[in-house]
Structure 1
Amino acid sequence: MRTNWLVGMAAAVLVLFVGRLVWIQGFEASALAAEAYKQITFTREVQASRGDITDVNGVVMATSVKRYNLTVNQRELAKWTHKNEADIEVGGPAEAARLTSDLLDMNEAELAAIYTGDRMFKYVKKGLLPEVWDAISSLRIAGLYSEETSQRVYPAGTVGGNIVGFVGSTGEGKAGIESAFNEQLTGTPGSRTYERSGTGHVIPAGKQTTVAAQPGDNITLTIDRDIQYVAAHALAQQIKKYGASGGSATVVDIPTGSVLALAESGSVDPNKPGATDESNRGAKSVSDVFEPGSTAKVITVAALLETGLATPKSKYTVPDRYTTSNNQTFKDSHDHEKEKWTLTGILSNSSNTGTLMAAEDLPTQVRYDYLRKFGFGEKTGIELAGESRGILHDVDDWDGRTKHAVLFGQGVSVTALQAVDVFATIGNGGKRVSPHLVQSITSADGTVTTKDAGEQTQVISKEVADQLLRMLESTVIDGTGKPGAIPGYRVAAKTGTAQAADASGQMNDIVSSFIGVVPAEKPRLAISVVINNPSERISIYGGPVAGPVFAEVGSYALQRLGVEPSTESPKLYKEEW
């Protein structure tokens, strides 16, 4: 009995053992193999190539170039040897440092210390040029490896830097188009899986698996780099001449709303954003606001013409001081005798008192409505972060003085882009087109998505828009805008001198502006020039301060775009009676 019991127990143990063996071989084999494979493999992410940003003509404004990160397997390098120039067997970290220190532009002793240790992976230096890695690779030093990566570069530097923006240390967009379209530009990373030995290095004949990265989309801007450059250069020269603190110059293609230039003083160089003051790393043309001053008189005149309260030939006897029906007194920028001006003359001579007289019967609500129609108090929708809507208080919040001051551009604030958009609307036959900076997006498979400019909104009638253009020509020919004249082309423009908030929020800064369209008879371009805090010892008025920049930028842009010179003389309205 005892023998039978022992035999039975042995048989049971044998059955269990065989069963377990069958289970391992049959059912757990694949799981164990997978776990073993995990232990001898490693996976690295393959960075997707970030999309390019180009100007409207395909000139590269931002691109990514190939770079390499040098890494070391310290265990493997410790065993490496080779014969030196004297045919002596040498090796290890010290010899590797001797051979590579000059290539890496690093101290030999410090480099040897980085190479020394027991780690299987460590970064030595990042961002190597391809030729540097090729030179190191040719030395065949066991234990030195590379990671392929990329570096973002901006060939145009500060030209358009405020628009293009820049990326951070991780490659993520931090400002401008780089930030606004980060998702499209980034693409989708891939991966590469290798088999490695016990020492940690890649087995050449081992299994490798690659999942290709998907490149990011390319973005084509509406910006013309050359027009942007000329605008920035002309602006910088005038700022220096007048001892001003800064400024902007904007050029818009009227029929399409395409922004051809958005130049600003102190623009960031995306290659080294840290070298630029934080206040200059964005696009101030869409974020900073100022009172438009006299350039906003075109909205008041548009309202008068559209409602039938006046015509370009309406007559007024204009004093240099004027008291409104609610006992608010205003004055012109300079003393003068009573002038017999038409509405055209009032606009041409930029008279505050004349504007108030002409608009005395314009209802307060209508004044507000026309400011809103022309885009005051709302964002343009430009493709940049940080856009301000400006300041347009609700009509119920206007006090007894504000409801008159808004007629000549005080008590409201706009961005430089909002200001030029008013004139683009007038030049487009009274139709408002949303300004935009992106022309198209091209995906990795070549699909091109063109930016839709959106619906055009009729703000004023074409008849009134045409009347305004004729009136504004007088400003350049006979009025305050003479410095903005462009030889060979008819210009319709308005000057302005107004206030802006200083660093403390007080309205102590001065803004001189010149905004207009050209050619007046068939408008193609709307251009605004805004200069901050010109020296009062020289001049603060928009004509002499900002006008010359308008003329230089306009002249270059018209020729670059092949716009034919004006062939007919303007038919001006009378300014006096």
Structure 2
Amino acid sequence: MLRLGNPGRRISVGLIGMTFVLSIFAGRLIQLQGLDSKVYTAKAAEQRVRPEKLPARRGAITDADGHELALTLEAREIFIDPSVVSAAKRDQVATALAAELGVQKEPIMAKLAAGGRYQQVAAAVDPTVAQRIMDRDFKGVGSKHRYRRDYPGGDLAGTLLGFVGSDGTGLSGLESTYNKLLAGRDGEQFVETGLEGQRIPMTGGTLKAPVDGGSVRLTVNRDIQWAAQKAIADQVKAVGARTGSAIVMDVQTGHLLAMANAPELDLKNWQKAPPEDWVNRSVTDVFEPGSTNKVITAAAALESGAVRPESVFSVRDNIRCADQVLRDSHPHPMERLTFSGVVATSSNVGTILAAQKVGDEKLYGMLQRFGFGVKPGSGLPGEEAGLLPDWRNWSGSQRCTVAYGQGVSVTALQTASVYQTIANGGTRVTPRIVAGTTNGEGVFTPSAPGARTRVIGERTAKEIAGMLEAAVSTDGTGNLAAIDGYRVAGKTGTAMRYDTRCQGYCGYTSTFVGFAPADKPRLVVLAVVQDPQKGHYGGEIAAPVFKKVMTFALKSKKIPPTGTRPPAVRIRAGE
């Protein structure tokens, strides 16, 4: 007989089974919502909540009058989330982004194919361009608020200012030196994102607010900087030279009004320039100064009392020093020159005769007092000290050549500082390029004035100034530096150039440095040209640069002529 199942039993078994299953679900719910709730809550937050950097705005670098030489502009970062861009849409997205950003499509396609959740396409895009991209409403394409560094002048003071990297960190020049002040401090916040990476509105909070960077005000005058750059660049090109530098300096304060180099660095395209063009040659390049150094020999001779401006020397066109015969720049019969005439006509032989009256130790001491062998103290990155061998180690011929600027090495800034000292009545003022800084709250702190050091007496400085004024006269070697209406004092320099490429002396360094007005000095201008191919004398290569820059600077600073006449300077005995 067929027996029917017991319904009660089936129901009981079913209830037991359901109870068992439900108890498992209940236990799991208790585990998830009770025991392990914090763990899963944290994992969920980790998936949808992420930290985001809030970039600080980098501070500006301005000239002395507040004109911005380096500034920060609003920008946007463009990124993609390859995980939500379908394969069918990749070509369309890459084509559109490439067209808007002005880049190649292939790298964008590669990033879309790479997978992952985040790929940067462009670091700093103009906000209007970013908005056009976002208006296309592509899934997986987003933008973030960023800043970008801009240099309105392009290459204006390029090597002086320096540049920043893609992350906004200063890599060279003043951008690097003052990076901590300029950069400020980035902030941070947490944001929640949806499944496709889109930010969920009204969520998240700021963990740390950004602090904008401070600014740096320079002593540089924008217009004078431009004039100095143009003059030195034009001359370097005209004479086929390798490089050049020009400096404009305030006599009384030591402030640097211009510091130009050629070639100069285009800060908007610095990646395209070779690394050797990233440095500020005015403070990094070391060279033998040549005849511009004769003023130090003159100072040592006058200060020691061994020579007076009217002292007469019998000067031939050559002189033997140890195993070397040293010569003047051109052959001439024996001349009876006053010491003023020796400096004005830039006689090597006459300078050696004066140095022999001083002695090696005293000449070395005077070179030290003028700052040779130590850094000028401007605080500029890469500043070099030059080379000043101890006088006890001078060779036989070096005991003579040091007197006219061969056998020692300096930078352009050190040379300019020597003439600032003479123009300032014998008192050296440590050069300054930074007028002051402003912190993130807008509080300006002026820089401490340059240290003042008495190097030579006022009388000696005045006597040397008279010799330098004679050097710019028709009887001197620097007559191409004369400026109509102004009294100008200055000195030519022509030195053989040591070059590592030829492992010896090859080529020349042509220099002119001076100040004006000669009887009431306000500005020092230096021009140095390295390895010119069309001529090499400082009077013909560098003096015209001095004249252009000094003329512009005098007018720009509204410095009038003094209206006085230079005193008569006797060049030759019997005149």
Q: Distance in 2 between matches of 1:270 and 1:565?
A: 37
C-alpha distance after superposition, 1:105-129 (max 9, x if no partner): 5678986785578743333444322
Is the Cα contact below 8 Å between 1:471 and 1:572 reproduced in 2? no
Q: 1:527 & 1:302 partners in 2: Cα distance? A: 20
CA contact (8 A) 2:323 2:397 kept: no
The separation in 2 between residues aligned to 1:469 and 1:495, in whole angstroms, is 14
1:346 is aligned with what amino acid? V
Equivalent residue, structure 2, for 1:46: 54
Aligned mates of 1:246, 1:118 — CA distance in 2: 49
* CA distance, structure 1, for counterparts of residue 451 and residue 114 of structure 2: 66
Match of 1:158 among 155, 159, 162: 155
CA contact (8 A) 2:140 2:197 kept: no
1:247-295 Cα shifts (integer Å, max 9, x gaps): 2111111111111111111111121112222211101111111111111
The 5 A counterparts of 1:51-200 are 51-76=59-84, 102-105=99-102, 119-200=116-197
Tell me how far apart the structure 1 counterparts of residues 65 and 57 of structure 2 sit (CA, whole Å). Answer: 22
**SS at 2:147's partner residue?**
strand
- Partners in 1 of 2:153 and 2:108 — Cα distance? 35
Aligned-pair CA distance for 1:386:
2.0
Give the structure 1 partner of residue 258 of structure 2. 261
Tell me if structure 2 keeps the 8 A contact 1:248–1:530.
yes
In the TM superposition, what whole-angstrom CA distance separates every residue of 1:217-253 from its partner, at most 9, and x where no partner exists?
2111222222122112112222233232222111111
Shift in Å, 1:202: 2.2
CA distance in 1, matches of 2:36, 2:505: 78
What is the one-letter code of the residue matched to 1:411?
G
2:261 maps to amino acid: E
1:453-505 deviation line (CA, Å, top 9, x unaligned)? 33200000111111111121111112111000011111111111102221334
Distance 1:485 1:496 in 2: 16
CA distance in 1, matches of 2:393, 2:497: 20
Conservation of the 8 A alpha-carbon contact between 1:75 and 1:117: no
Query: What is the letter of the counterpart of residue 319 of structure 2?
Result: Y
Q: 542, 546, 549: which one pairs with 2:542?
A: 546
Q: Distance in 2 between matches of 1:154 and 1:176?
A: 14
Distance in 2, matches of 1:47 and 1:532, equals 43
DSSP 3-state at the match of 2:223 = helix
Matches within 5 A, 1:26-425: 37-76=45-84, 102-105=99-102, 119-209=116-206, 211-323=208-320, 329-425=325-421
Query: Which position in structure 2 is the counterpart of 1:448?
Result: 444
Checking the alignment, whether the CA contact within 8 Å between 2:497 and 2:531 is kept in structure 1 is no
Q: What is the distance in 1 between the residues matched to 2:239 and 2:90? A: 61
The alignment covers a number of residue pairs equal to 545
- Please name the residue that 1:7 is paired with: none
More deviation, 515-524/70-79: 70-79
Q: 1:507 matched to which residue of 2?
A: 505
Aligned to 1:86: none
1:457 has 2:453 as partner? yes
Contact 1:498 1:511 in 2 (8 A): yes
| Distance (Å, rounded) in 1 between the aligned partners of 2:569 and 2:330 | 24
**Equivalent residue, structure 2, for 1:530:** 528
Give the deviation of 1:559 after TM superposition. 0.5
TM-score normalized by the length of structure 1 = 0.87
Q: CA deviation at 1:552?
A: 0.7
Partner amino acid, structure 1, of 2:383: E
| Paired residue secondary structure (1:558) | helix
- The percent identity for this pair of structures is 36
Amino acid at match of 1:529: A
Give 1:302 deviation, angstroms. 0.7
Query: Which letter maps to 1:534?
Result: P
Q: Which moves more between the two structures, 116-125 or 39-48?
A: 116-125
Map Cα deviations across residues 414-437 of structure 1 (whole Å, 9 max, x no partner). 111111110011011111111122
Question: Structure 1: any 5+ residue segments left out of the alignment?
Answer: 1-16, 80-90
Q: In 1, distance between residues paired with 2:551 and 2:571?
A: 27
The CA deviation at 1:298 is: 0.5
Q: Match of 2:3? A: none
AA aligned to 2:283 is: V
1:391–1:98 CA distance, 2 compared to 1 (3 A): closer
Structure 1: how far apart are the matches of 2:252 and 2:536? 32
RMSD (Å) for aligned C-alpha atoms: 2.9
Are the aligned partners of 2:432 and 2:450 in contact in 1 as well (CA < 8 Å)? no
Q: Is the 8 A contact 1:312 1:573 kept in 2?
A: no
With over 3 angstroms needed to count, the CA separation of the structure-2 counterparts of 1:356 and 1:71, relative to structure 1, is closer
Aligned to 1:375, the other structure's residue is in SS state coil
TM-score by length of 2: 0.88
How far the C-alpha of 1:32 sits from its partner, in A, is: 7.4
2:268 partner SS: coil
Distance in 2 separating the partners of 1:427 and 1:438: 22
> Distance in 2 between the 1:56 and 1:363 partners?
44
Output the CA distance in 2 between the equivalents of 1:98 and 1:416: 52
Aligned-pair CA distance for 1:130: 0.6
Secondary structure, aligned partner of 1:508: strand
